[in-house]
Amino acid sequence: MKAGSAQLTLLFSCLGHAYMHLFTAFYFVIALTLEVEWSMPNHELIKLWALGSLLVGIAALPAGWLGDRWSTPGMMTVYFIGLGLSGILCGLVSTTSALLLGLTSIGLFSAIYHPVGIAWLVRSVKTKRGMALAVNGIFGSLGVASAGLVAGLLIDAISWRAAFILPGVICLITGLALFAALRLGWIAEGDGEQENDPPPSRNDMVRVYAILLLTMAVMGLMFHATQASLPKVFDLRLRDLAGEGAFGIGLLVATVYTVGGLMQLAGGWLADRYSLKLIYLGAFAFQIPVMALLASAGATPLIALAILTVLLSSAALPAENMLLARYTPQRHRSLAYGVKFVLAFAIANPAILLASWVEGRTGEFAWLYGLMAAAAAAAALVTLFLPNKRSQPSMAVPAE
């Protein structure tokens, strides 16, 4: 792949990651305004996103299949244009049924990014894969962080409709720019990555996949439950600090995900140098007390703990992606990433419904964070059984 093409691939992959997380996060802040304008409780509004969040997961596998057999940059073009139009649609609706349709469309097109965009990036990376994935991951974290900030600012300055429409227009323009770059020949499909490591043993692959299925499910459960609940937690516990309106809450959420998400860069640096197992295990082990304390914390400790839980999740992601790549043959890697993101985002549906149920029953989220602490403990326990390092074959395999 030519240097210019690789740089553009990195640019569009990173923008795609930011947009994906922005579009799948900003509704939780918008819903706070719709509570008043549509006279609906927050937990009922959150349910409108449940089907879309489910599609983000289950549609990832066919999206990855199409990317492998048709074109990864072509699928990315479909992603940008479809997601942008879906956002615009959500900003034009006036009924819950129409909003449900628009949010479901956001979920469907969002499903394209991870199996296609990450595989597209990995294919172009020859060295320091952990750092490249970390940079890409930071854009995803910034997408989550900017979701609250952008939505809150646009709601207070214009309306909740603008919080959907303006990001949709920007995403649509990005898709048209990618389409133009493809037509001009500035971006190529990629020539594949170099495989310098020996293939994993079948026993190691089975063991790692079995463990990662559980840990990735827990990681997704914690991420989506926290993302769904945090704006309302801040609204309930920090309203004096946040002030009136949606912007203050959005700013707090943005701060949490920006500061916490930047830790992914350190996670990538560590993953290129140290044991992936220890990095992954440590992230889950530290989540146990953090989630337990989140259940009842208020004021400044609440903000610090929210940053810590995002920080730990972000730092673990490069190690998780590298473990998946290390124990997957290259010819099946897109499929493996597709399975990962089917699991990671399919779990969003029960996570959101769980957050909605807990709030509806208790008016708060203490039970939710207690359950997340227990889930983190289970994940830390099974992570102990990951291989310490790749088993080496008896005969050396020369690098290509």
In this structure, what token pair is assigned to residue 157? 């300055």
Domain 3-191+201-383: which topology?
Growth Hormone; Chain: A; (1.20.1250)
Q: Where are the domains of the chain?
A: 3-191+201-383
Tens digit of each residue's pLDDT, the chain (400 residues): 555 677 788 889 999 999 998 998 888 888 888 888 888 888 888 888 888 988 887 888 888 888 877 888 889 999 999 999 999 999 999 888 999 999 999 999 999 998 888 878 877 666 666 777 778 888 887 887 788 788 888 998 899 999 999 999 999 999 999 999 988 888 876 555 455 556 667 777 888 888 988 998 898 889 888 888 888 888 888 877 766 767 787 788 878 877 877 777 777 778 777 888 899 999 999 999 999 998 888 777 888 898 888 888 888 887 887 888 778 766 666 677 778 777 776 787 788 888 888 888 888 888 999 999 999 999 999 999 888 764 343 333 323 2
List the beta strands (DSSP E) in the chain. Answer: none
Please report, to the nearest 10 degrees, the dihedral formed by the alpha carbons of residues 212, 218, 221, 226 taken in order. -120
What angle, rounded to 10 degrees, do the helices at 246-261 and 129-157 form? 170
Q: CB–CB of 56/345 below 8 Å?
A: yes
Buried b (16+ CB within 10 A) or exposed e, 208-237: beebbebbbbbbbbbbbbbbbbbbbbbbeb
- Residue 194 φ/ψ, nearest 5 degrees: -85, 135
The DSSP string of 183-239 is HTT-----------SPPPPHHHHHHHHHHHHHHHHHHHHHHHHHHHHHHHHHHHH-H
Quickly count: other Cβ atoms within 10 Å of residue 281's Cβ. 21
